[in-house]
Amino acid sequence: MKAVRVTVQPEHRSVEVPAGTTALDAVEAAGVAIEAPCGGKGQCGKCRVVLRGEATPPRATERRLLGEAEIAHGLRLACQAHLLGDAEVLVPAEARLGRGHIVVSGVEREVPLEPAVRKIYVSVPPPSLEDQRGDMERLLAATGLNGCMPDGIELARALPRMLRGSRFRVTAVAIDGLLAGVERGRVGAHPLGIAFDIGTTTVVGYLMDLQTGQELAVGSRLNPQTRYGADVVSRVEFAGSRPDGLSILNRAILGTLDEIIDETCHAAQARRRSIYEAVVVGNTAMHHLFLRLPPESLAVIPYVPALTSERYLPSQAVRLRIHPHGRVYTLPCIAGFVGADTVGVALASNLLASRGLRVAVDIGTNGEVLVAADGRLLACSTAAGPAFEGARISQGMRGTDGAIDAVSIGEEVRIHVIGDAPPLGICGSGLIDAVAELRRAGIVNEMGRMASADEAPADLPEAVRARLQGSGATARFLLARPDEHPEGRTVALTSRDVRELQLAKGAIFAGISILLGRVGATASEVEELLLAGAFGNYVRQESAVAIGMIPALEMNRIRSIGNAAGSGAKLALLSKAMRAEAREITRKVEYVELSNDSAFYERFTGAMFLGPMGGEAAPAGRPGGGGA
Amino acid sequence: MKAVRVTVQPEHRSVEVPAGTTALDAVEAAGVAIEAPCGGKGQCGKCRVVLRGEATPPRATERRLLGEAEIAHGLRLACQAHLLGDAEVLVPAEARLGRGHIVVSGVEREVPLEPAVRKIYVSVPPPSLEDQRGDMERLLAATGLNGCMPDGIELARALPRMLRGSRFRVTAVAIDGLLAGVERGRVGAHPLGIAFDIGTTTVVGYLMDLQTGQELAVGSRLNPQTRYGADVVSRVEFAGSRPDGLSILNRAILGTLDEIIDETCHAAQARRRSIYEAVVVGNTAMHHLFLRLPPESLAVIPYVPALTSERYLPSQAVRLRIHPHGRVYTLPCIAGFVGADTVGVALASNLLASRGLRVAVDIGTNGEVLVAADGRLLACSTAAGPAFEGARISQGMRGTDGAIDAVSIGEEVRIHVIGDAPPLGICGSGLIDAVAELRRAGIVNEMGRMASADEAPADLPEAVRARLQGSGATARFLLARPDEHPEGRTVALTSRDVRELQLAKGAIFAGISILLGRVGATASEVEELLLAGAFGNYVRQESAVAIGMIPALEMNRIRSIGNAAGSGAKLALLSKAMRAEAREITRKVEYVELSNDSAFYERFTGAMFLGPMGGEAAPAGRPGGGGA
């Protein structure tokens, strides 16, 4: 069979195909993705190319869809033109598929769509006595790929039958330019990927179309490891407490990831075999438990991980049930308590290229802080604890149905409950709102002391005062009275809850303050402060400023960016440039170990203060509100 | 702990080690192997280096072993000098271990000793709050390695415990600059490798010390696949004849390789875990059966392999029981009937760099021919069949105890039997000898016809004539009469055996002749003819010329190089440069498909002629001897 050489422009990428191949197939064989929504039937007119070389003459359908003038200029429908000799095919931008840029929702960072995975449909020249190349070498040459994935021997084992069973027409799947899979015939289904953010409490998976950059489905689950320990340290201790501890935690998270794959595939009507790559972020402990790396040394000084660098692994090596020859990419971690999730936040918030002074705070079960200052990047972990996710708060809960997530105090107390359900408890944003409002009303003072009904300001409306019970350490404030609740329940905030919030927000503020000090800046100079974490999306920023959790900035300088760790995972899944940037982040970041920083404890103590704060863990001015 | 920077000269290779490290450990950490046969005890005086920088003062043992004058010039024993500051260490050639060149026995090709595997002893700086790098990153930095093997996650899982259990002193094993294994403490045992030549009939394994290039042990076995088919084609047919056919053949060869590993390790008193790399050659079918690649298409036109290129595979992926993180390297194949074994022959006989006209013939179950002519390299397979290994010869056998391997005919017939045992049959070299002698005595004519006792030349001694029985197609010649044999047996060569030899030798000669024709050369121009294959070592070259199996050259232009395929595997195991050369060979070689070459059948017919031959498959002159 005669072979013809096709050069795709402007890439100048060449490939050899059998004579008679359509320009569409040839362009795809050269690894250039082209629009063909009608599946190459000559109906949609999308696959317009400029063709120079010997080919079958234009058909009626082309004359109709393109017009004579265009045809005179060499325009063709790639699916209708069969190549008879060497040819040059110019694929204009409008006919290209999915190339260009995509914007990841939430963070609105625009990146080039450049996934590691792509599909290439080829018609492989069949062997002859003159051309006895091996099946694998034949396929690699036809696809222009350099070789196989390291575990490619299984592919080679299946290939002879597959080629002969499909008359040498197959769709190859390449990961980073290496052959990873082969499917019979022309496979229209786009290659998929899934990005996972494994949080200590919540696990989220985003099923993505790697050819268009589109998000197809999102699934989330509670991290089932919670039953073996609510926070990172107790979970790490469980792993070390029994021989199968690590395996138990590893199996638990794998089971959940598997459920999320199921759920998202079902929602998107996709097959899990279409998922060729998974990207995983998580804090260092979650990263270790996912990879079944022993996490024990994370929990003891000097908090050393087993592995921090990025990792590419065969899906089977980590038992993630995507395509059997698929690959898993874990973003790098920075330190024992600043993990791949924080690298994800840095990616999503484009901190590396930042000009000026920007701060990103990721509030999950822990609180990590990133400061970017004119080319420098600093990170720390504040060990804020899981107060914002409800732990250690007497009636704390996650932000799900029944959680009070907003509170305002005027003549009466008004609450908002998620899902418009009867109130069951209070979540992080509700907690911050409640304390900010109690401060404003003078019920809680700047030291965090809750007044009794007797001690409360004289001008406090009686309906509000009536919600105060007890005094001193046992004082509590009823956010929902039994008579306000269909089941007669009470939701109250205790004096002790206020103290927990002070500890948590103080740790975060002190972390921000220490990092700003390291770059010689003060809070007032911060040009943008990003609040990441699911929680960051819901917190009322005024309240966060009012209690001094974040520096007192004008509101237009504070922005919530949602689950930025997850967005970072999506970016890395869709764009190889983001993986290079992740490496660069870990190379460049200056990690600040707070447990070793004598200034931290001083700042921390100062940062317990409930009221708007400047950058130095000192009140931003005299706080408003009375009491104390 | 203070770190010091050490630069090894003349490589100018730098590494950071904790202050107090010996110069010996530092040099090894930099990846430079140094002589220390006493194990660093300061007794042997071999690890002499020139040291510039701050170190502990020379000890009495150094003054004694080195002399004051040398010490004044900066000479030290690397094992005795502890580095206290940044230093430069010059390691002279005589103190270097195993670097330089090695000569692989048999073929006497000298190559640089540059194995893919090396061991690096390091003292890893322990972590601290100021240095929280992950364990893996810490080890990689200390060893100067770039990363892990693709399946390195298991290593990362084991590393935290290993580092802490050995006080951060470990021996790393690197394959191609990637971390493949870690052992506790300083491990003196050298890394080993094993080179396998999987023949259709015989399997040989060479256990090699990768640090010295020494061969430690050799083991060989019959290929157990023989019971499923004596030759390549019948074995390939068996693989396709039942669903588990390929698995059966694959398990059979793996079992044999395993036995050879056992045997050679036992002989060398080594552990199989010390074997970090295996190199495998074999013809394309054996290569496929080893890798469990479907071989079916090898047996049908156009004889296409599933895979021809070189392959690196985790030992576990091919179930070869060497070190669990070890690696298997298969040399590339050229075509369906010119395999990795032939690439090995080309390596061993240094054909790529050849000047002038050289020919290598590898005679095993098949006969492959290589011709190198001033920068060109041609290959073909002659499908000579297994006559030289005894198959199709009425009393044929392999060259083991009891085989007649040499014959001379004078006043009487004299035979040599391997193992000085009673004769049981005839092997390849005996067959060639016998026919050459029968020709010389006029008993067999140039067309291969065996005379009856009546037809034999008049001057034939009566004792010899008496050994002729029958006539025409049933004629036979007794090499051993019953009365010459302790058990009363007969070993005879039949008229039909002579015909089989003619077919086999004719195919080989025609192959040589076709390739020479392709480069426009004649046999008389051949500067060197190499006979490879175990058989090649034993055949009497004069006899091979006399029957026209190889061109009639002066004897000093013919050389037997033994199992050159196996030597090629050893070369590839010991020297990475040889792997690059193997790739280059497959890139450069011009494969000639004889089944497609109309000239071949003509040459083949002419080459059946029994007598000295020129390069054109024509008699080299009038053959001597009478008859006909």
CB proximity B313 to A under 8 Å: yes
CB pair distance less than 8 Å for A132 and B303: yes
- The model's pLDDT over B199-232, given as tens digits with 9 standing for 90+, comes to 998 899 999 999 889 999 999 999 999 899 888 8
Token pair recorded at residue A311? 């990792």
> What's the pLDDT band for B64 if we cut at 50, 70, 90?
confident
Which positions in chain A touch B247 (Cβ < 8 Å)?
none
Q: Which residues neighbour B106 within 8 Å (Cβ) at sequence distance 6 or greater?
A: B348, B561, B562, B563, B564, B567
CA-nearest residue to B312 within chain A is: A150
Cβ contacts from A onto B, under 8 A: 151
- The model's pLDDT over A513-527, given as tens digits with 9 standing for 90+, comes to 999 999 999 999 999
Token pair recorded at residue B360? 């290598």
- pLDDT for position B622: 39
d(CA B255, CA B263): 12
d(CA B485, CA B494): 19
- pLDDT for position B623: 39
Name the residue among B293, B296, B302 with its Cβ closest to that of A129: B302
Which of B145, B153, B290 to probe by mutation at the A interface, max A CB count within 10 Å?
A: B153
* B383 compared with A244, residue with greater pLDDT: A244
- pLDDT for position B74: 87
- The model's pLDDT over B550-590, given as tens digits with 9 standing for 90+, comes to 999 999 999 999 899 999 999 999 999 999 999 999 999 99
One-letter amino acid at B324 equals P
d(CA A444, CA A460): 12
User: Pick from A537, A394, A576: which is nearest to A477 by CA?
Assistant: A394
CB proximity A605 to B under 8 Å: no
CB pair distance less than 8 Å for B132 and A296: no
User: Could you give all domains of chain B from N- to C-terminal order, each with its CATH number?
Assistant: 3-95 (3.10.20.30), 116-184 (3.10.20.880), 192-340 (3.30.420.480)
CB pair distance less than 8 Å for A136 and B303: no
Which positions in chain B touch A303 (Cβ < 8 Å)?
129, 132
CB pair distance less than 8 Å for A153 and B311: yes
CB pair distance less than 8 Å for A291 and B593: no
- Angle, helices B232-241 vs B245-268, to 10°: value is 120
Interface of A with B in 561-600 (CB under 8 A): 591, 593, 595-596
d(CA B193, CA B173): 13
Which positions in chain A touch B329 (Cβ < 8 Å)?
none
Name the residue among B129, B137, B335 with its Cβ closest to that of A593: B129
CA-nearest residue to A303 within chain B is: B132
CB proximity A130 to B under 8 Å: yes
- pLDDT for position A400: 83
Token pair recorded at residue A450? 């809750």
CB proximity B517 to A under 8 Å: no
State the pairing for strand pair B403-409/B425-426: parallel
d(CA B96, CA A260): 57
Instruction: Using a pLDDT cut of 90, give the percent of chain A over it.
Output: 64
CB pair distance less than 8 Å for B133 and A308: yes
- The model's pLDDT over A607-628, given as tens digits with 9 standing for 90+, comes to 999 999 875 545 554 333 333 3
Interface of A with B in 144-163 (CB under 8 A): 147, 150-151, 153, 156-157, 159-161
pLDDT score of A37 more than 70:
no
Which positions in chain A touch B130 (Cβ < 8 Å)?
593, 596
- pLDDT for position A619: 58
User: Pick from A569, A73, A575: which is nearest to A281 by CA?
Assistant: A569
- pLDDT for position A626: 34
pLDDT score of B626 more than 70:
no
| Cα dihedral: A265, A266, A269, A272 (round 10) | 30
CB pair distance less than 8 Å for B153 and A128: no
- pLDDT for position B627: 34
Instruction: Using a pLDDT cut of 70, give the percent of chain A over it.
Output: 95
pLDDT score of A545 more than 60:
yes
- pLDDT for position A30: 79
Which of B304, B329, B337, B587 to probe by mutation at the A interface, max A CB count within 10 Å?
A: B304
pLDDT score of A315 more than 50:
yes
DSSP string, B162-200: HHHHTTTEEEEEEETTEEEEEEES---SPPEEEEEEE-S
* A113 compared with A583, residue with greater pLDDT: A583
Closest-CA distance of chain A to residue B586, Å: 11
A529, A539 contact by CB (below 8 A): no
- Reported in sequence order, the residue ranges of A322-419 that DSSP labels E, i.e. its strands, are 327-330, 357-363, 367-373, 376-381, 403-409, 413-417
CB proximity A379 to B under 8 Å: no
- Angle, helices A153-165 vs A135-143, to 10°: value is 80
pLDDT score of A148 more than 60:
yes
pLDDT score of A557 more than 70:
yes
CB proximity B291 to A under 8 Å: yes
* B467 compared with B119, residue with greater pLDDT: B467
Name the average pLDDT for chain A: 89
Name the average pLDDT for chain B: 90
CB pair distance less than 8 Å for B132 and A335: yes
Specify the range with the lowest mean pLDDT, choosing from A7-16, A501-510, B364-373. Answer: A7-16
**What letters, b where the CB count within 10 A reaches 16 and e where it falls short, cover B468-485?**
beeeeeebbbbbbeeebe
pLDDT score of A359 more than 70:
yes
CB pair distance less than 8 Å for A307 and B150: no
- pLDDT for position B624: 36
pLDDT score of B58 more than 80:
yes
pLDDT score of A420 more than 80:
yes
- pLDDT for position B620: 53
d(CA B451, CA B147): 72
Q: Which residues neighbour A179 within 8 Å (Cβ) at sequence distance 6 or greater?
A: A139, A140, A143, A145, A147, A148, A149, A152, A155, A172, A173
Coil/strand/helix, residue A365? coil
Which positions in chain B touch A305 (Cβ < 8 Å)?
132, 134-135
pLDDT score of A253 more than 60:
yes
Taking residues B36-47, report their average pLDDT: 76
Token pair recorded at residue B222? 């019959």
* A32 compared with A283, residue with greater pLDDT: A283
- pLDDT for position B104: 63
Taking residues A189-210, report their average pLDDT: 94
- pLDDT for position A628: 33
pLDDT score of A269 more than 60:
yes
CA-nearest residue to B129 within chain A is: A302
- Within A144-270, residue ranges assigned H as helices are 153-165, 232-241, 245-268
A509, A552 contact by CB (below 8 A): no
pTM: 0.81
List A16's β-bridge partners, or say none. Answer: A5
d(CA A86, CA A19): 9
Specify the range with the lowest mean pLDDT, choosing from A309-313, A483-487, A489-493, B40-44. Answer: B40-44
Closest-CA distance of chain A to residue B574, Å: 22
pLDDT score of A273 more than 60:
yes
One-letter amino acid at A311 equals R
- pLDDT for position A620: 53
- pLDDT for position A104: 64
- The model's pLDDT over A121-137, given as tens digits with 9 standing for 90+, comes to 888 999 998 888 999 99
Cis peptide bond N-terminal to A10, omega within 30: yes
- pLDDT for position B102: 61
Which positions in chain A touch B306 (Cβ < 8 Å)?
134-136, 156-157, 159-160
pLDDT score of A270 more than 50:
yes
CB pair distance less than 8 Å for A156 and B291: yes
- pLDDT for position B1: 59
- The model's pLDDT over B124-169, given as tens digits with 9 standing for 90+, comes to 999 998 889 999 999 999 888 888 887 679 999 999 999 999 999 9
Which positions in chain A touch B131 (Cβ < 8 Å)?
302
Closest-CA distance of chain A to residue B335, Å: 6
Taking residues B95-115, report their average pLDDT: 70
- The model's pLDDT over B332-350, given as tens digits with 9 standing for 90+, comes to 999 999 999 999 999 999 9
CB pair distance less than 8 Å for B317 and A153: yes
User: What is the helix (H) or strand (E) element at residue B109, kind and residue range?
Assistant: strand B109-112
Closest-CA distance of chain B to residue A17, Å: 19
- pLDDT for position B628: 33
pLDDT score of A32 more than 80:
no
- pLDDT for position B599: 87
Which positions in chain A touch B595 (Cβ < 8 Å)?
129
CB pair distance less than 8 Å for B593 and A130: yes
pLDDT score of B82 more than 80:
yes
Name the residue among B129, B134, B301 with its Cβ closest to that of A129: B301
Q: Indicate the DSSP class of residue B144.
A: T
User: Pick from A287, A79, A306: which is nearest to A198 by CA?
Assistant: A287
Specify the range with the lowest mean pLDDT, choosing from A466-475, B264-273, B479-488. Answer: B479-488
List A102's β-bridge partners, or say none. Answer: A111
Structure-token match 């009303």, residue found: A441
